[in-house]
């Protein structure tokens, strides 16, 4: 498995922070030259809008050198190519229906059979329903891999203030944030003096609606994995910088048992 062995000393605080109880020994034994066999991992990342999921996903790809598999991208690819699958998807969407679970499951099954997934993979946008989640566990097991579900837990009030604090310069596109990156003069672009505006996506009612939609769709999946998976890692992503959140995810992943 493409895991390097830095930072093992961080494990203890990370375990405490993430609330997960690892098995007694790390699957990656340091120092004695023996590396126990580790199954490839299918990492599923859940995080609300504003939770930093995209950033954590990028960090994981860089660290583990495994592909990120986006079912949304795969579906859009088929639509663009206009092949049989693409036509089936377009028909469903025209009828106002969701893409069928079986179709998505099949796409994932084919994709993870590729050799670049031998050392593991990250699933993005899948599973989206409990039925897909059940099938995912079967697919992952039949691939000889094991699932690790990472849930970025956030305080919605923090997310709302973070997202609604965003301002953009309509002239040059520079982004500001009233908390983390305020302009020198409130409401004015540093570069060209243009009054800043709130993007539609960052208005509070839009943010609240997106969070409610995320919650509605994701909570049943989190409940499913809480009940069925030994490897659900819940990490607080509200308060720390993304690098610190990743440090905890990484330390925990280095210590989650393969059993
Ligand atoms: Zn500007």
- Alpha-carbon distance of 137 to 146, in angstroms, equals 8
List residues bridging with 175 in a β-sheet: 168
Q: Distance, CA 196 to ligand 1 centroid (Å)?
A: 8
pTM: 0.75
CB neighbour burial string for 217-227, b if at least 16 within 10 angstroms, e if fewer: eeeebbebbee
Q: Of the listed 58, 92, 109, 210, which one is catalytic?
A: 210
- Mark out the alpha helices in 35-148 (DSSP H runs): 53-64, 71-81, 84-94, 101-112, 130-142
* The predicted structure's pLDDT at residue 257: 52
Of all residues in the chain, what percent carry a pLDDT higher than 70? 85
CB neighbour burial string for 72-109, b if at least 16 within 10 angstroms, e if fewer: eebbeebbeeeeebbeebeeeeeeeeebebebbbebbe
Average pLDDT, the chain: 85
Please check whether residue 252 is in contact with residue 169, taking contact to mean a CB–CB distance below 8 angstroms.
Answer: no
- Alpha-carbon distance of 177 to 166, in angstroms, equals 4
DSSP type of residue 12: H
Active site residue 166: yes
pLDDT digits (tens, 9 = 90+) for 119-176: 999 999 899 999 999 999 999 999 999 999 999 999 999 989 888 899 999 999 999 9
Between 79 and 8, residue with greater pLDDT: 79
Q: Distance, CA 195 to ligand 1 centroid (Å)?
A: 8
């Amino acid at each position: 498995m493409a895991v390097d062995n830095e930072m093992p000393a961080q494990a203890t605080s990370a375990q405490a922070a993430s609330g997960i109880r690892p098995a007694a020994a790390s699957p990656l034994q340091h120092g004695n030259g023996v590396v126990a066999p580790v199954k490839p991992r299918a990492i599923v990342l859940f995080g609300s809008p504003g939770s930093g999921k995209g950033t954590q996903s990028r960090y994981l790809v860089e660290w583990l050198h495994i592909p990120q598999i986006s079912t949304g991208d795969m579906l859009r690819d088929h639509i663009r190519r206009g092949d049989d699958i693409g036509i089936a998807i377009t028909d469903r969407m025209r009828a106002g229906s969701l893409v069928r679970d079986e179709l998505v499951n099949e796409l994932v099954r084919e994709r993870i059979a590729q050799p670049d997934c031998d050392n593991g993979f990250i699933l993005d946008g899948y599973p989206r329903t409990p039925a897909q989640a059940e099938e995912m566990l079967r697919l992952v097991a039949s691939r000889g891999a094991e699932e690790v579900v990472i849930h970025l837990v956030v305080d919605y009030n923090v997310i709302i203030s973070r997202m609604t604090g965003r301002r953009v310069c309509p002239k040059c596109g520079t982004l500001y944030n009233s908390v983390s990156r305020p302009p020198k003069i409130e409401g004015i672009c540093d570069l060209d003096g243009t009054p800043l505006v709130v993007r539609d996506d960052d208005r509070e009612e839009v943010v609240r609606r997106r969070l409610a939609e995320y919650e509605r769709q994701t909570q049943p999946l989190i409940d499913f994995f809480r009940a069925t998976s030994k490897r659900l890692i819940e990490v607080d992503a509200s308060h720390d910088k993304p690098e610190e959140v990743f440090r905890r995810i990484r330390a925990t992943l280095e210590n989650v048992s393969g059993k």
